[in-house]
Structure 1
Amino acid sequence: MVQTIRIEGAAREQAGKGAARATRRAGQVPAVIYGAKQEATLLSLDPRVIIKELQKGGWRSHLYEVVVGDAAPVRTLMREIQFHPVTDQPLHVDFQRLAPGQKIRVLVPAHFLNEADAPGIKEGGTLNVVRREIEVLSDPDQVPDAFEIDVAAGTIGDTFRWSNVKDSFGTEAVLGRDFVVATVAAPTVEEEVVVAAPAPAPAAPAKKGGKK
């Protein structure tokens, strides 16, 4: 199930671009917690904490308990990270505060099981993944780490849909229909191209006569 990760930050008193630049000059990343019909909370974070979460992957599906100073932990989702266009260092982080009983909208990775056993794959076909992540509405305490789809019986032309997910963990797909997640595509046939050798150039006509 979903991980809950604790992040500690320092209070930030002023909003605006100037205050954000000052925070970055101090070696910190400006951030904000918003939502649940409450006033936004401004804070700053150690950039190493954000980079660590990025390296782990799946940060959009994790719950974060954010602690600012002596205040009570705030249950959040990390919604957006802005990056420097050249250095790729984090510039700003947005957290969404969760209200009690609120379902959250998250992207959950799709994992495909037994791909090597699928008859269509053995015949040279490929698993064409349409959605590597599936967006769902979920209870914050029931967000799965991944959805699993068993493709062991997949033959050429088969389609795997949302209904083929082994366990949806009580989530609800945002699209609201039985959408395609992956297909087994036929092998690509490459036509052999025969390049004809160029015809030999015609011989130059013999010169008549000559020196006497």
Structure 2
Amino acid sequence: MKNRIDLTVEARETGKHNSRTLRSNRQVPAVIYGAVAPINVTVGEKEIVKFNTRAYENALFNLKSGDKNANGIVVLVKQVDVHPLTRRPVHVDFYALDLKKAVRVWVEVKLEGKPIGLSEGGLLNVVNRQVEIEVLPTEIPEFIAADISNLALGDALHASDLKLSGSGKIMSSADLTIAVVSAQEEEVAATPAPAAAAPAAAAPAAAKAPAAKK
């Protein structure tokens, strides 16, 4: 089962004045939504800075709070808004999970091995580094490993070649190119991938975040 990280949040009052006061005290306004009715909370700036990194992408957080409505909710960090100049976090969106329903998230593809096509004068082009998957929250993988050692000159790895265990399904287009071994003068255009996780159809409540109350 995917490990969870305890994260302390507390109830907050809405309004611009209250939000400014919280930020001056190194607290970040946040909203919880998804499998629950929206809840306005605050979370420590230090914790958000720590967890808003690639190392904690798709991590599950178990909320601890004196507010009984928020206590015990398991969430993903869906979005962290930062100040354009100071780069300090100014608002956080938490997506509350139903652990029995699948969600859609973007996961890194980790390429392993050296393609045989390199010895044939080819060049490895990594076109897309992430794919979208649908999976139970407790089975979200840290990454998807893909062996590319058998790729010859002109061969490509596609999303359809990737393997997932458990309940996971690849939701990206089957013909999405992950990597290709091409002649060095050739170039392959990358398809940009969204930065934030998108909820599965099984969890329509998260399709759009509610307007946050500052």
TM-score, normalization by structure 2:
0.78
Q: CA deviation at 1:172?
A: 1.9
Q: How many residue pairs end up in the alignment?
A: 184
Does the 8 A contact of 2:159 with 2:172 survive in 1? no
Task: Give the Cα separation in 2 of the matches to 1:19 and 1:93.
Answer: 15
Matched, 1:68 2:73: no
Unpaired segments ≥5 residues, structure 1: 190-212
User: Which of 43, 46, 49 is the aligned partner of 1:48?
Assistant: 46
Unpaired segments ≥5 residues, structure 2: 187-214
C-alpha spacing 1:174/1:19, structure 2 compared with 1 (3 Å) = farther
Find the structure with the greater CA-based Rg: 1
Q: Any residues of structure 2 matched to 1:42-191 within 5 Å, and which?
A: 42-55=40-53, 57-69=54-66, 71=68, 72-115=71-114, 118-188=115-185
Match of 2:9 in 1: 9
Does the 8 A contact of 1:33 with 1:95 survive in 2? yes
Higher relative contact order (CA 8 A, sep 6+): 2
Does the 8 A contact of 2:62 with 2:72 survive in 1? yes
RMSD between superposed Cα atoms in Å: 2.0
Question: Could you report, residue by residue, the CA deviation over 1:59-86 in whole angstroms, capped at 9, with x for unpaired residues?
Answer: 3411111112253311111100001101
Q: Which runs of 4+ in 1 moved over 6 A?
A: none
Does the 8 A contact of 1:138 with 1:170 survive in 2? yes
Task: Give the Cα separation in 2 of the matches to 1:157 and 1:17.
Answer: 57
Q: CA deviation at 1:19?
A: 2.4
TM-score, normalization by structure 1:
0.78
Sequence identity percentage: 31
Q: CA deviation at 1:168?
A: 4.6
C-alpha spacing 1:16/1:44, structure 2 compared with 1 (3 Å) = same
